[in-house]
Structure 1
């Protein structure tokens, strides 16, 4: 059993290290890219992978390796931005709703039930279609699709804690609502939220790539993985490596994010 636990935590640390290394590569993409991702060279269009161009070139002669690095910054960076906004909205609302309750809680839950009645992708694609293409509209659409699940998670955690003796003692001792939330409830919420955010990162990356693929997200010439997949579709039969390499990049990112989320869920003993 001891050997099994050691192997498990070694495996877990390896996954977290891979995730950290991947995000470090994305962060330093401008330093690692050998070419300008926007530079067009029609004399080198659709070149196969080689020592000069590691992943080959696209239909405009742009270096695919450089564009994947830059596209990772857009796709993953936008996903992290969306998560940050969702957390800034969902965590305070969920904590206030769960602790204070009353009419505010009832009305807020009815609104969230209406949003959660539809899959995230449906809400995001409808809003993106109404607002029009563009990354700002895409960010807004995904935030609207995602915020409710975080409010509900935080609220359920607060509801399970607020009737416990240590919370009642804090109320008797005269602590304000803000002090009770900050000192006593927030530490119980952080683990659950962190795990959900890690698991959600892969889903948001897929959402951004999917909506950009159908033209509702990043617009050319911005390098973004979904938009780049869309640009490569006409050349699938002649240059399949264009879509294959991009698909691997998206799949690897989502897979590592989900595995890291599973590790953190076991670490924080989060159920569900």
Structure 2
């Protein structure tokens, strides 16, 4: 409890900043300048009254592009996590509760997905599908849902032989009712912790894939793509890379702080699905 209290102010600050970023993503259409407008007469301007963070090599307002980029980077990250949870949680619940041959086949599928690092699989899938945000979303969801499925399956396996589940079966509750009423409360905390910790990882994957040209395509504002655009001007105008890099770093850091707090709060132990 003492450790949680010590970290709680950090968690509150981190949570508030994540909410601010999420809000910025939701209202990204309210920006001082059009983030896509090119004005070569104002290229590479320093920060000032007219442009808070200056302009890039095409005269576009950096502040407007950072705010608009929150919708692409943070918003897409939240969308990917939501899709991964929607796919992984039901799959893990059904596999863990059903057991038998179905569970064994399911575990072989999970093992196949987890045999290689997330980044490698996401890059390969994105490369095969071609550049673009839709393909990037599909690729990352395909490597992220398995973690939730495995976590949930392990939780179900640890709970389904306990007395309260046996009593629920004796009382006539069907499998779906048992999963929803008795398993979900045990699953929810673990999933919330994993999703919070995963937010930073997913945002890093989005930025990394966009940086190498497999994600957001020009002129769309996205923090990883902005890093790629600014690398040619790093010595002349380093803030073109520093500003989006700091934004990515802050979101990753804050999501990790929030995940650490939730992990302590829910006292989540390492969950491993049995083979």
Calculate the TM-score normalised by the size of structure 2.
Answer: 0.95
Change (3 A) 1:146 1:45: same
Which residue in the other structure is 1:160 paired with?
158
Question: Is the Cα contact below 8 Å between 1:208 and 1:217 reproduced in 2?
Answer: yes
Q: Separation in 2 of the partners of 1:147 and 1:172? A: 33
Q: Separation in 2 of the partners of 1:147 and 1:110? A: 15
Change (3 A) 1:94 1:244: same
Which residue in the other structure is 1:19 paired with?
18
Q: 1:58-207 counterparts in 2 under 5 A? A: 58-207=56-205
Q: Separation in 2 of the partners of 1:108 and 1:202? A: 28
What secondary structure sits across from 1:56 in the alignment? coil
Deviations 1:142-165 (A, max 9, x none): 011111111100000001110110
Instruction: Quote how far apart the aligned CAs of 1:30 are.
Output: 2.2
Q: Give yes or no for the alignment of 1:29 onto 2:28.
A: yes
Q: Separation in 2 of the partners of 1:14 and 1:88? A: 28
Question: Is the Cα contact below 8 Å between 1:15 and 1:260 reproduced in 2?
Answer: yes
Which residue in the other structure is 1:231 paired with?
229
What secondary structure sits across from 2:29 in the alignment? helix
Q: Separation in 2 of the partners of 1:74 and 1:265? A: 28
Which residue in the other structure is 1:9 paired with?
8
Change (3 A) 1:225 1:99: same
Q: Give yes or no for the alignment of 1:262 onto 2:272.
A: no
Q: Which moved more, 1:7-16 or 1:121-130?
A: 7-16
Instruction: Quote how far apart the aligned CAs of 1:25 are.
Output: 2.6
Q: Separation in 2 of the partners of 1:16 and 1:156? A: 29
Q: Which moved more, 1:47-56 or 1:65-74?
A: 47-56
Q: Separation in 1 of the partners of 2:7 and 2:142? A: 37
Q: Which moved more, 1:166-175 or 1:230-239?
A: 230-239
Question: Is the Cα contact below 8 Å between 2:4 and 2:261 reproduced in 1?
Answer: no
- 5+ long unaligned stretches in structure 1: none
Question: Is the Cα contact below 8 Å between 2:4 and 2:264 reproduced in 1?
Answer: no
**Partner residue of 2:240 out of 217, 239, 242:** 242
Question: Is the Cα contact below 8 Å between 2:126 and 2:136 reproduced in 1?
Answer: yes
What secondary structure sits across from 1:29 in the alignment? coil
Which residue in the other structure is 1:222 paired with?
220
Question: Is the Cα contact below 8 Å between 1:19 and 1:260 reproduced in 2?
Answer: no
Q: Separation in 1 of the partners of 2:250 and 2:101? A: 45
Question: Is the Cα contact below 8 Å between 1:134 and 1:219 reproduced in 2?
Answer: yes
Question: Is the Cα contact below 8 Å between 2:96 and 2:154 reproduced in 1?
Answer: yes
Q: Separation in 1 of the partners of 2:44 and 2:10? A: 39
Deviations 1:79-116 (A, max 9, x none): 11111111110000000000111111100100110110
Calculate the TM-score normalised by the size of structure 1.
Answer: 0.96
- 5+ long unaligned stretches in structure 2: 271-275
Change (3 A) 1:22 1:121: same
